């Protein structure tokens, strides 16, 4: 087969493909639909145009919010804040324990030296004060770290609860879209 023959077959195939093409696919707009923003993907099963899909999604969003009592955007913000607080609590707990014994020992030694100086042996007083200060400060730091850990666990639980509420919303939102003849996946 010669090059001109191959070229003419290619052109005929291309023309046939164009003739057989059904509806042209619209190019992406670069904007996400409301459903896609919620990580719910809706395909218009009854030939709905993008404007109709936007209206349907908006109506379903309102309906699902009313039915579940959950607004996913508010829940997302709440969950993000809970996670930020949990991370902050963990960080504070770690900082509270870091060097707590040394800091207590220094403070205790200073106090012990003063008391020991009054009693007549500043060195012995400083040594006793350092030990007491280190132990007391470590205990205080452990208590603060435990409180921070508990708070972080509460914040984690709140974030998980928010995620569950978002899941409930997505089910209701999807049910509404399916009732409007969309194929939905999330």
Contact 116, 126 (CB under 8 A): yes
Q: Is the dihedral of CA 44, 47, 49, 54 positive or negative?
A: negative
Q: HSE, CB side, 13 Å, CA atoms: give it for residue 39.
A: 8
**Tens digit of each residue's pLDDT, the chain (186 residues):** 676 665 566 555 555 555 444 445 455 566 899 999 999 999 999 999 999 999 999 999 999 999 999 999 998 888 888 788 878 877 876 776 565 555 555 555 555 555 555 655 656 655 666 566 666 666 777 777 788 778 878 878 888 888 899 999 999 999 999 999 999 998
- Which helix (H) or strand (E) segment holds residue 38: the answer is none
> What pLDDT is stored for residue 127 in this prediction?
63
Predicted pLDDT of residue 157: 85
From the list 102, 180, 181, 99, the residue with the least C-alpha distance to 145 is 99
pLDDT of residue 25: 46
CB 118 within 8 A of CB 151: no
Check residue 129 and give its pLDDT.
61
**Cβ-Cβ contacts under 8 Å for 4 (sequence gap 6 or more):** none
Specify the pTM: 0.58
- What Å distances lie between residue 53 and 21, 71, 137, 161, 184, CA to CA? 24, 20, 62, 30, 12
DSSP symbol at 3: H
């Amino acid at each position: 087969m010669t090059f001109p023959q191959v070229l003419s077959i290619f052109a005929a195939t291309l023309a046939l493909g164009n003739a057989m093409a059904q509806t042209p696919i619209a190019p992406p707009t670069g904007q996400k639909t409301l459903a896609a923003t919620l990580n719910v993907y809706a395909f218009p099963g009854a030939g709905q145009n993008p404007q109709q899909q936007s209206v349907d999604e908006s109506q379903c969003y309102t309906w699902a919010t009313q039915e579940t009592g959950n607004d996913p955007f508010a829940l997302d913000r709440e969950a993000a804040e809970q996670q930020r607080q949990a991370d902050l609590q963990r960080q504070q707990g770690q900082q509270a324990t870091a060097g707590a014994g040394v800091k207590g020992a220094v403070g205790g030694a200073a106090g012990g030296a003063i008391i020991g100086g009054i009693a007549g042996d500043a060195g012995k007083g400083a040594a006793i004060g350092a030990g007491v200060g280190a132990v007391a400060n470590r205990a205080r730091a452990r208590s603060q770290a435990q409180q921070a850990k508990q708070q972080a666990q509460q914040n984690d639980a709140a974030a998980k609860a928010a995620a569950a509420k978002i899941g409930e919303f997505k089910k209701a939102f999807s049910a509404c879209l399916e009732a409007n003849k969309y194929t939905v996946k999330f």
